[in-house]
Structure 1
Amino acid sequence: MKSLFGALLYCLSALVCEVRGTYRLYGYDQQRYAGRPVARPRLHPNLQPLHNALSPGVHGNNYRFYGYHYYHQPPRISPPVIYPQPTAPRPPTAPPPPELPVSTQSGITSTVSAIAVTQCKSRPLDLVFIIDSSRSVRPGEFEKVKVFLSDMVDTLDIGPDATRVAVVNYASTVKIEFLLRTYLSKVELKRALARVEPLSAGTMTGLAIRTAVDEAFTEESGARTQDKNISKVAIIVTDGRPQDKVEEVSAAARAAGIEIYAVGVDRADMQSLRLMASIPLDEHVFYVETYGVIEKLTSKFRETLCGIDPCALGHDCDHTCISMNNSYYCQCRDGYVLNEDQKTCALEVKAEVIEDPCKCEAQVAFQRKMQSTIENLTSRLDVMTKKVQQFENKMYQF
């Protein structure tokens, strides 16, 4: 009997503890007891107390009550912890392409936008560089010339069916470093350019131009035939005054279909550059103050030697833009005509054949036919009427 009473008393006390723990009847003040240590249950050294693993927002009373309910209530499974994923950093925005200053032979400084470079595709060329390596060109300056030529090669489409490049090196003598057929890839060309060495004193520019025409721009050296319609271009780089005649030999080269660009550096004679270059001079004669800024010309030549699509650079055409040489013209779609401004389009008004909706001619013909038929029937009716009258008269006579 006592054991039964003891068991009931134990169950009742457990129930009271459960109720008080669930409904917070202990009067626990979180601020009052925040600084005091909390009694922890004696657990195995490898185990952690339950309240370190529970979430207050999820488990509520189970986290705050440290009595019977806390120690004997089976632990609940806490929700999975979701950590925020680190966001990938945004790639930096590329700055707008710079505009590079270039001085023309007239002294006017223009700018070349790098946007045009991205729209540019190199047209096939037979290109020969004629470079001055006389004593006035110091070794460090000559290295800058080679860097300029290497950058030029990077901007071109090099290959057997694309652009071919040769180099004529000159001072008091002339040396063909390599021909148009020698190297047909950018890697080979740039390696060959790196091996070029300056020559000696003297500036025999006229002799260098004649050598390029007679030996570098020939079919045996790798130049394409005229029926291939491949442009032949020579770029002369010099910093001095020619010691021989350049006017006649340059005129002969231009007459042979070679387009000549003249680049002057530092002490270069501008009059000689004009005598060598093709027309128009503003597009074929350039000048830079030192070899240290000769790379400015890379973008200019890239724009000049590439087949730029003017329509890709922007146009005002209402419908279709058609590129033609260095310009463009506008064209309209079917059913439209070009207005007087040669840019906008308007609907095409076609002359329509206006037919008579009432078909008057057909009506008149029909009326005439009906009238003729009626007249025919009338005449026959008259004949029949006369016959009937004659028959009646005969009947009355009997």
Structure 2
Amino acid sequence: TTKKSKAAFTAARQSSTRTNCRNRPIDLVFIIDSSRSVRPAEFEKAKEFLVDMVDSLAIGSDATRVGLVNYASTVQIEFLLNTYSDKSHVKQALARVEPLASGTMTGMAIKTAMDKAFTMEAGARAGSASIAKVAIIVTDGRPQDKVEEVSASARAAGIEIYAVGVDRADVASLRLMASQPYDDHVFYVETYGVIEKLTSKFRETLCLEPCAQGHNCQHICVNSGDSYNCKCRPGYILNLDKKTCSRKSLYHKLNKQGMVKACSDPCARGNDCQHICINSDDSYTCKCRVGYVLNADQKTCSRSDPCAHGHDCQHTCVNSDDSYICKCRVGYVLNPDKKTCSRENLDPYTSDVSWFCFRVCFVELCSDTCPQGHDCQHICFSTGDSYMCKCKMGYILNPDQKTCSRLDFCAKGHDCQHICVHSDDSYLCECHVGYVLNADQKTCSSSDACAQGHDCQHICVNSGNSYICKCRVGYVLNVDQKTCSRKKDFANSIWHVVRTGVTET
């Protein structure tokens, strides 16, 4: 990038007028992919997105602090949370960032951010529970290293992770990195040319909208840039003061039977349905488009999860728009019913190997070369006047076409939330310390040690994957760390031990 293009980039950003939002103070670290797959023009678009993000936030030492981690096959910290304390310097620093080169070591970048960018020495306000730690990852490729465990460690350390995928990005990897719920933390755009569309999404997440700061609407407050507008509930209209509401008068007409009929189009008068508004007398109801379900607020919609609603797949259910398809685990094939699975057939007489001896047995005697000596580690198949090697179930043939190595089923893809563990010709899911495996044998929930049984006399408090005991007000914990005594009785008990050396029972 030339100095001229940098100057034009900075001028374009400074000339654009954007509205600051009043966001909660956060420690924000951008983790940006600058590998060779990101072309120079695309990298400039990615930087414009970061500048737009910074432009929309209140930046300062007592407000939001910003850091940047740049990565490819190596990781480089461009600036830390305490490097710049004002918006203009942060934007200038973003404009100076250069791409690194080849490779996509996303896991290494996340670990570097966790270990070096989110520290008190780097400017993170670790002592304040009210200041969130947020990481926004922008990548266009599949990670070339492991991201699941390091991302879990970062989230366990209190870092909220947003994953932004562009073009060739692997959505499954984005979900392994991001915090939950995924609908709020995983984003994908087709090209860097439209990545700026995500600025408004992050603004909704990070900004304290005007309505949340206080309003004087009688019914409904609707955010509008730096200000807000008032709306009324169905069946009411907004008064001239633009704040209060009055029940609306319905105009009338005669229907075909000559009866008076009240006419109203509540949807046209304003509604807060995310997808579809349907008139219902003098009010309305909300519905969702195909492939979505109505949320509990009866207004907004979420993408439906057909698999979660019940399926008849023997092995794995995969969502597909508003329906689902069935897939089989490694080593199995899908039966014609598209639901059940059968183990792959490795019988040489029914497999697709084209040179087996049985093809020529009708015209000449078969030559079984395997008994004459071979160097296959597992299985030898005669092929005319030679032979070929194959492996037992759960193994793959090495490049030497002779020896076999155990299949890495976890690396081929799995749906474990935490840890995937090999198990013969399949895999099992396990959870990190402090979590327990749910009934679906895939996802994990934080363990509740107290709920599993305790011997505290008064109060049990969960602590990691164990618990500690506490006492009610007016009591103190005895030396057994389980039972409680009134404060006065406790003092007498201590004096008795000091005076006699005998513990009362």
Greater fraction helix: 1
Which structure would you say has the larger Rg? 1
1 or 2 for the larger relative contact order (CA 8 Å, sep ≥6)?
A: 1
Greater fraction strand: 2
Q: TM-score, normalised by structure 1?
A: 0.49
